[in-house]
Amino acid sequence: MEGATRWYGSTLAVDDVSFQVRPGEIVGFLGPNGAGKSTLLKMISTWLPPTTGRIVVGGHDVVREPLAVRRRLGYLPEHNSLYEVMRVDRFLEFAARIRGLGGSSLRERLDWAVESCGLREVLSKRIHECSKGYRQRIGVAAALVHDPPVIVLDEPTHGLDPVQVVAFRGFLRGLRQGKAILFSSHVLSEVIAISDRILVIRQGRLLADTPVDELERRAGAAGADVEAIVLDIVTTAGSA
Amino acid sequence: MRDANALGGGEALAAAGLIARRELAASFDSSIAYVYTIGFVVLANSIFMNEFFLTGTADMTAYFDRLPLLLAIFLPAVTMRLWAEEKKHRTIELLLTFPIGPREAVAGKYAAALGLYALFLAGSLPIVVMLFVLGKPDGGLIASGYLGAFLLGAQLIASGMFFSGLARDQIVAFVTSSLAAFAFVLSGNDRVVEVLDGLWPSLAPGTILSESVSVRPHFDAFVRGSIQLPSLVYFCGMSAVFLWMTALVLREDRT
């Protein structure tokens, strides 16, 4: 992403943001409400075009080659809106088929998604009958069912209980092999626990792009914890 | 991995088919399809049977004559949810970040709505059977009427989809689609044409609207058994324009 900027009318939502996520890397996106996180992820997903700047996913430009980007992308949107009246198994099959899966690979990937996201017991239920935690896992399963090399998840742990959050951390780290993973969260400790690198955004501007190792080193030197260091970045840069 | 920036014919067809099946299944799962189909069939067939017992003629003119006004209410009820619901529940972002374009999404939903409308029309087939049992109706005339009815519905569905694409609320989509459908139908009504022509006699706006915009003269030609190229072009062209505008709205209206 190079100089990505997005205006909504006269409101600047994302201001000249540049960063890169490499295969095998998990990058966490932090920022307060209205910071521009979701707008940025929507631009990566091809849903919103950047007003200026360039975003490339897997070697393909999101504006000029949106279909090629979408084929390589597993995207969980901000509100995880799902087709409420559909049965879980039919929804997952729809998500897989529309991405071109068929035959034995379709069955294999559906089985993988169902087992990985723990959906076996709700497969025959309609989505609106599922709990918030299950709905979140259904959204993640639909985003990953085609084994995409690039994964973008907007608030993936929203609605999960503490046990599910811990399980999700392990799940996401297990997916990293060869995949570029970008996810957003409000929860500082969660981002620190999962990510290799942290991006901090506020008022549309990227305030920090720092490896967690580096944050831990700084925290050790300062005798503080990593969360305090990240909070310091947000407040100091935000007031500068 | 395929990298073309538009789906190939086979892929586009497969994607549209998947969306159509999902859409139809959703309509039946939520009972909407049953309610609309039963409501339409009961109403349209009752009106016809009333006329049939009064006139005693073995043709379907009475059925087709009442069809445009009925469709101006029932088809907007079918199309109102197609996009407005996706926007309201935000599933549109999910749908349009799958590897498909707006064209495939529009084609899929259009096919689903056409499928449901075909069920509406299929509900009148017992009337056809009854006419052939009781008399000797003109089969060609009936077939031409059904073709006209299908094309008329195809256009009203396309315009309804466009208004649903513009709206974020199903009620707004229904009211605007229905108003547009009534405009298409009533602008060909003789009394409406007379009134409008009377407002500006030198320009005759009623006649202009009737001849250029209204579905009525084209549909009436089919009901009389006359299948003319200009009428085919009118219905197909208007449908294509509304579908194209729907895809355009979906491409531009994003938040």
- Please name the residues between 142 and 181 in chain A that touch chain B, using a CB distance below 8 Å: 142
Of B4, B6, B22, the CB nearest to A94: B22
* Overall domain count for chain A: 1
Query: Is residue A109 situated within a structural domain?
Result: no
Q: How far apart are CA B54 and CA B246, in angstroms?
A: 43
Query: Is residue A233 situated within a structural domain?
Result: yes
| CATH value at residue A26 | 3.40.50.300
Nearest-CA distance B28 → chain A (Å): 10
Of B15, B29, B255, the CB nearest to A85: B29
Residues of chain A neighbouring B98 (CB-CB closer than 8 A): 70, 95, 98-99
User: Is residue B1 within 8 angstroms of chain A, CB to CB?
Assistant: yes
Q: Give which of A163, A183, A162, A161 is closest to A172, Cα–Cα.
A: A183
Are residues B5 and A67, on separate chains, in Cβ contact within 8 Å? yes
Q: What is the pLDDT of residues B58-81, one digit of tens each?
A: 899 999 999 999 999 999 999 999
Nearest-CA distance B82 → chain A (Å): 13
Query: Is residue A113 situated within a structural domain?
Result: no
State the DSSP string of A35-74: SSHHHHHHHHTTSS--SEEE-EETTEETTT-HHHHHHHEE
Residues of chain B neighbouring A128 (CB-CB closer than 8 A): none
Range of the domain at A37: 2-81+152-239
- Best of A85, A140, A153 to substitute, by most chain B Cβ atoms within 10 angstroms, is A85
Query: Is residue A123 situated within a structural domain?
Result: no
Question: What's residue B4's pLDDT?
Answer: 58
Q: b/e per residue, B226-245, with b = 16+ CB within 10 A? A: eeeeebeebbeebbeebbeb
Of B1, B93, B254, the CB nearest to A71: B1
Question: What's residue A86's pLDDT?
Answer: 94
Are residues B5 and A68, on separate chains, in Cβ contact within 8 Å? yes
Given a cut of 90, whether residue A31 has pLDDT beyond it is no
Coil/strand/helix, residue A123: coil
Given a cut of 50, whether residue A218 has pLDDT beyond it is yes
- Best of A81, A86, A152 to substitute, by most chain B Cβ atoms within 10 angstroms, is A81
Helix (H) or strand (E) holding A219: helix A212-222
Let me know if A49 is exposed, middle or buried by CB neighbors in 10 A (0-12, 13-18, 19+): middle
* Structure-block tokens of residue B135: 């008399």
User: Is residue A106 within 8 angstroms of chain B, CB to CB?
Assistant: no
Q: What is the pLDDT of residues B130-184, one digit of tens each?
A: 999 999 999 999 999 999 999 999 999 999 999 999 999 999 999 999 999 999 9
Nearest-CA distance A8 → chain B (Å): 8
Question: What's residue B2's pLDDT?
Answer: 52
Query: Is residue A96 situated within a structural domain?
Result: no
Query: Is residue A7 situated within a structural domain?
Result: yes
Is the Cβ–Cβ distance between B181 and B156 less than 8 Å?
A: yes
- Best of B81, B94, B104, B255 to substitute, by most chain A Cβ atoms within 10 angstroms, is B94
Question: What's residue A240's pLDDT?
Answer: 40
- State the average pLDDT over residues A98-108: 94
Of A68, A85, A97, the CB nearest to B26: A85
Question: What's residue A34's pLDDT?
Answer: 87
Question: What's residue B252's pLDDT?
Answer: 86
Q: Count CB pairs under 8 A between chains A and B.
A: 80
Contacts (Cβ under 8 Å, ≥6 apart) of A213: none
Q: How far apart are CA B188 and CA B72, in angstroms?
A: 14
Are residues B90 and A72, on separate chains, in Cβ contact within 8 Å? no
Nearest-CA distance A153 → chain B (Å): 12
- Please name the residues between 124 and 143 in chain A that touch chain B, using a CB distance below 8 Å: 126, 142
Q: How far apart are CA A67 and CA A54, in angstroms?
A: 16
- Best of A44, A47, A80, A145 to substitute, by most chain B Cβ atoms within 10 angstroms, is A47
- Please name the residues between 36 and 75 in chain A that touch chain B, using a CB distance below 8 Å: 42, 45-48, 60, 64-68, 70-73, 75
- State the average pLDDT over residues A75-82: 92
3-class SS string, chain B: CCCCCCCCHHHHHHHHHHHHHHHHHHHHHCCHHHHHHHHHHHHHHHHHHHHHHHHCCCCCHHHHHHHHHHHHHHHHHHHHHHHHHHHHCCHHHHHCCCCCCHHHHHHHHHHHHHHHHHHHHHCCHHHHHHHHHHCCCCHHHHHHHHHHHHHHHHHHHHHHHHHHHHCCCHHHHHHHHHHHHHHHHHCCCHHHHHHHHHHCCCCCHHHHHHHHCCCHHHHHHHHCCCCCHHHHHHHHHHHHHHHHHHHHHHHHCCC
Q: How far apart are CA A53 and CA A6, in angstroms?
A: 9
Rounded mean pLDDT of chain B? Answer: 93
Q: What percent of chain B has pLDDT over 90?
A: 82
Question: What's residue A56's pLDDT?
Answer: 97
Q: What is the pLDDT of residues B79-128, one digit of tens each?
A: 999 999 999 999 999 999 999 999 999 999 999 999 999 999 999 999 99
Are residues B94 and A81, on separate chains, in Cβ contact within 8 Å? yes
Are residues B22 and A86, on separate chains, in Cβ contact within 8 Å? yes
Q: How far apart are CA A119 and CA A111, in angstroms?
A: 10
Nearest-CA distance B7 → chain A (Å): 8
Query: Is residue A194 situated within a structural domain?
Result: yes
- Please name the residues between 3 and 32 in chain B that touch chain A, using a CB distance below 8 Å: 3-7, 11, 15, 18-19, 22, 25-26, 29-30
ipTM: 0.91
Alpha helices per DSSP H over A117-211: 132-144, 162-175, 188-194
pLDDT band at A159 (very low <50, low <70, confident <90, very high): confident
Q: How far does chain A reach from its first CA to its final CA, in angstroms?
A: 24
Residues of chain B neighbouring A67 (CB-CB closer than 8 A): 3-7, 99-101
- Best of B31, B92, B93 to substitute, by most chain A Cβ atoms within 10 angstroms, is B93
